[in-house]
Structure 1
Amino acid sequence: MKETGYWFQAGLVVAWWVSLAASESVFAAFQFPGIGPLAFWAFLIPDLVLIAGGSMLRAYVRSALLEYVVLGAFGYASLYCLNASLLTGGGVLPTVLMLLGLAFNLFLVFQDSLFRNSTASRPLNLAKTLIQVLCMWSVALVAIPYVLLTSFESTRGPQWDAPMFIGATLFVLCGALGLRSAWIMVRDGLGTPLPLDQANRLVITGPYRFVRNPMAIAGIGQGVAVAIMFESWPILIYALLGAVVWHTVVRPVEERDLLDRFGAEYEAYRNRLLCWWPRF
């Protein structure tokens, strides 16, 4: 399962550098004010060798050392970008990208230690779930889309035209699905949606009666809704990449954990329902 994540990462890094070379607007979006383009291109070979090459090699060879090398490369790049943003007052997009890459590699390296059953009471789990939802919405659906808008195009104010209405409607519907699913996880699963504080029971009620991953559908749907509202291709690409990452990297890890904990009960549930398309 890790192999897929490292293959995906290697491909993304190469595609990113190709897009930088092919598009002036993409290149400009990832620059730090006051730092010349030569300094930026100086990272080409380290990126291709340590991150893309290291990821590709790790996809073939099981090696904890390789995982830590790639993680360290992302850590160094993240610290560089953070420092550059502080010094120049700009370059938010490359800094966000590096931090997302760092988080992704932390997940790849330490995924086996990320799953723990909740030991809290239902009211406390509800409070923690609300905080989780607020943080996720603030970062994934507000902060990152705002950075993409300001980096690639001028932000437009609210305009109640057809795209805004369609996007807002989709956002509310998906938000309601996500909140309902989160509540069912707290009520029937005795846990939270976060793997670090996960449910103690297999949840097959509420929206989970019809589809296996309603919260993932809700989150991706909200990302697409934001893209529609602001008519933004970068946000749409971001949302769809999130769906690919979740489906190919995160989902298999979650399903392996569920199968280990609930055995035949989860196997029957997985065989009965699809991941993305509901069955009524």
Structure 2
Amino acid sequence: MSLYSKWAKKKQTETGRILALIPAGMLFLYLLPLAITNGAASIDRQFGLPDLDLGTINHILGGILMVLGFSFALWSIYDQFSRAGGTPLPMLPTQKLLVGGPFRYCRNPMTLGTVTAYLGIAVHAGTIAGIGIALCFGTLLVLYLKLLEEKELAERFGEAYLRYKREVPFIIPRLPRRH
């Protein structure tokens, strides 16, 4: 039995899950966006990269990407918390397999949303290094999902997860079919 499966067997209180999400929220909603805006601009200057200055387009496109991305990511976190008794944190995993809500469009809506939002922040800030940071972050998340999380979900949820994995795309959404 993997460490993830052991963590999943422990029932967590709602208060405990909220308290665990606070530092994660600070990291993903404040510190990483701050690094993309301020840190990336510094990297751009250090390496002489040009500004990604498209005028108003930066603000419109960046704003759209941020709103869509954060909405999708927060929707998936809300579902993990409210419908599946868990969190996105590996040590406080969901108690049920989520296949509805944002998880009907792709298996990793939180990753898709977060990377989209971070790309929006980088576009809004007009920083090429910020786009690179967002894409590197996304690559690391995808590696984690492919190398660890998918195996853990197959171990915990068995055939139900394997069927879901066959039917729902990994990260690029597909609109649900109407029957």
Output the TM-score relative to the length of structure 1: 0.54
Of all paired residues, the percent bearing the same amino acid is 20
Q: Distance in 1 between matches of 2:112 and 2:81?
A: 18
CA shift for structure 1 position 221: 0.4
Higher relative contact order (CA 8 A, sep 6+): 2
Q: Residue in 2 aligned with 1:243? A: 138
| 1:195 has 2:90 as partner | yes
Structure 1 counterpart of 2:109, from 189, 207, 214? 214
Q: Distance in 2 between matches of 1:114 and 1:147?
A: 33
Q: Residue in 1 aligned with 2:17? A: 125
| 1:176 has 2:176 as partner | no
Q: Residue in 2 aligned with 1:141? A: 33
Q: Distance in 1 between matches of 2:166 and 2:121?
A: 33
| 1:153 has 2:48 as partner | no
- Contact residue 36 and residue 121 of structure 2 kept, 8 A: no
Larger radius of gyration: 1
SS at match of 1:257: helix
Output the TM-score relative to the length of structure 2: 0.81
CA shift for structure 1 position 243: 1.9
| 1:230 has 2:122 as partner | no
Q: Which runs of 5+ in 1 are unaligned?
A: 1-111
- Pair 1:144–1:231, CA change in 2 (3 A): closer
CA shift for structure 1 position 152: 2.4
The Cα RMSD (Å) is 2.4
Q: Which has the larger share of helix?
A: 1
After TM superposition, what 4+ stretches of structure 1 lie above 4 angstroms from structure 2? 112-115
